Amino acid sequence: MKLRIAVLAGDGIGPEVTCEAVRVLNALAGIHEHSFEFRDHAIGGTAIKTFGSPFPTETADACLTADAVLLGAVGAPEFDHLPASRRPESGLLQLRQALGGFANLRPAISYPGIVGVSPLRAEIVQGADILIVRELLGGLYFGEPRGFLGENGKSSAVNTLRYSVEEIERVARLAFEAAAGRQKRITSVDKANVLETSQLWRQTVSDLAADYPEVTLEHMYVDACALHLMTNPRRFDVILTENLFGDILSDEAAAITGSLGMLASATIGGAINLYEPVHGSAPDLAGRGVANPLGAIASAAMLLLYSGELEQEAVDIETAIELVLDAGYRTPDIDDGKSGRVVSTSEMGALVAEAVAQMADARYAYHAV
């Protein structure tokens, strides 16, 4: 298998965690004789500094001709004063639009080895395994009109929340298909008691459910969902929701796992798929070697699954993450003070790469017998 991967490390801890994801992919390539070709390109604040734009044309062209895009994170305090369209974050939004992926899959899993790290009680989070399907190209993020209004351009501001039936249907279809391969339950999250867009969302998802009789659909208001995620996360299988609700609920769901640094994502449905950890550039951690790379590494596993159809290799990375956690290795964000094995970002990456290699060796030895 040959995969050309555009690597957009970005800002803050982006380069640190992406480097570890690439290390694990390289370890796998060596074992299975896959050829993974990595090309670095600029995005976000670093791209503004070098090219004067958060999403340079060179980066856009490279991503659109790659097999997959692996992103770290964007955003830095020095750009926070800029208007939205000139901030590093707009580079990420332009990238998402250019690639066309509308379904952002964000798994939130309670790993047995770190159940105790969650601020929620173990008996609540144990066994939780949720897939959040976040609509990624619509809603308030992209709706027009938008901007500041008024005489001095600052007295009021507007954003537009708009969804078409087609936009809802296409992401809902992917969510139903994902649910069909899991526990066959979908919770569609909206605010249909207040918003017309949510009423359309609810109606469209309900209509589509007829095509998936094996999947059970429930509807839930977003405020109630925020509560149930914390009090009974095991009640969820697939959560389907619109762009902004998905952004917020996925960060909240990180509390089930124990740290935002653990969460991975894949954006599918467009021309080229995009893989990125859920977390941001964490300026508070950047350059200190303390960031958790497991979200980025798990995103690389999703890359192998969705862009390479390398199911075994993807499972190997996920299993390697579990083994390393079971062995007690922790970056500071998932350290409960009990394991005694706190490691750096690069040590964590090396441990996962080593575990992946050992698993592959064991499998070859088994087959050779």
Contact residues toward ligand IPM (CB under 6 A) are 75, 89, 92-93, 247, 278, 280
CB 307 within 8 A of CB 271: no
Query: One of 11, 247, 316, 333 is an active-site residue; which one?
Result: 247
In the complex, least distance from residue 232 CB atom to Mn ion, rounded to whole angstroms:
23
Residue count, binding to ligand NAD (CB under 6 A): 22
- 183: which residues sit within 8 A by CB, 6+ positions away? 237, 238
Residue 13 touching ligand NAD (CB under 6 A): yes
- By rule CB under 5 A, what string of x and - marks binding of each residue 64-83 to Mn ion? --------------------
Q: Which does 107 bind (CB under 5 to 8 A by kind): ligand NAD, ligand IPM, Mn ion, none?
A: none
Q: Which of 223, 284, 326, 336 is catalytic?
A: 223
Instruction: Determine phi and psi for 217, rounding to 5 degrees.
Output: -110, 135
- Rounded to whole angstroms, the Cα distance separating 101 from 98 reads 9
Binding of ligand NAD at residue 259 (CB under 6 A)? yes
* Annotation marks residue 223 as catalytic: yes
326 in catalytic set: no
Which residue is associated with the tokens 């991967």? 5
Residue type, 310: L
Asked if 292 and 72 count as a contact pair (C-beta separation under 8 A), the reply is no
In DSSP notation, 89-154 reads HHHHHHHHHHH---EEEEEEE--GGGGGGSSS-HHHHTT-EEEEEEE-SSGGGT-SS-EEESTTS-
Query: If binding is defined by CB under 6 A, does position 261 make contact with ligand NAD?
Result: yes
Q: Tell whether residue 247 is a contact of Mn ion (CB under 5 A).
A: yes
The length of the chain is 369
Query: Is 135 a residue that touches Mn ion (CB under 5 A)?
Result: no
Looking at the Cβ atoms of 190 and 247, the one nearer to Mn ion is 247
Q: How far apart are CA 284 and CA 282, in angstroms?
A: 5
| Cβ burial, residue 81 (10 Å; 0-12/13-18/19+) | exposed
Any idea what the Cα angle at residue 164 is, between residues 163 and 167, rounded to 5°? 90
Residues 6+ apart with CB under 8 A from 318: 298, 301
Residue 42 bridge partners (DSSP): none
User: Shortest distance, CB of residue 250 to ligand IPM, whole angstroms?
Assistant: 7
261 binds, among ligand IPM, Mn ion, ligand NAD, none (CB under 5 to 8 A by kind): ligand NAD
Whether residue 221 lies in the annotated active site:
no
Active site residue: 163, 191, 212, 335, which one? 191
Residue 247 appears among annotated catalytic residues: yes
191 tagged catalytic:
yes
Residues 155-184 that bind ligand NAD (CB under 6 A): none
Which position among 17, 60, 62, 114 is part of the footprint of ligand NAD (CB under 6 A)?
A: 17
Q: Binding string, 282-321, against ligand NAD, x = CB under 6 A?
A: xxxx-----xx--x--------------------------
The catalytic position among 11, 111, 141, 316 is 141
Nearest to Mn ion of 186, 263 (CB atom): 263
**174: left (phi > 0), else alpha (psi -120 to 50), else beta?**
alpha
Which residues are known to be catalytic?
141, 191, 223, 247, 251
Binding site for Mn ion (CB under 5 A): 247
Residues within the interface to ligand NAD (CB under 6 A): 13, 17, 73-75, 89, 92, 259-261, 276, 279-285, 291-292, 295, 333
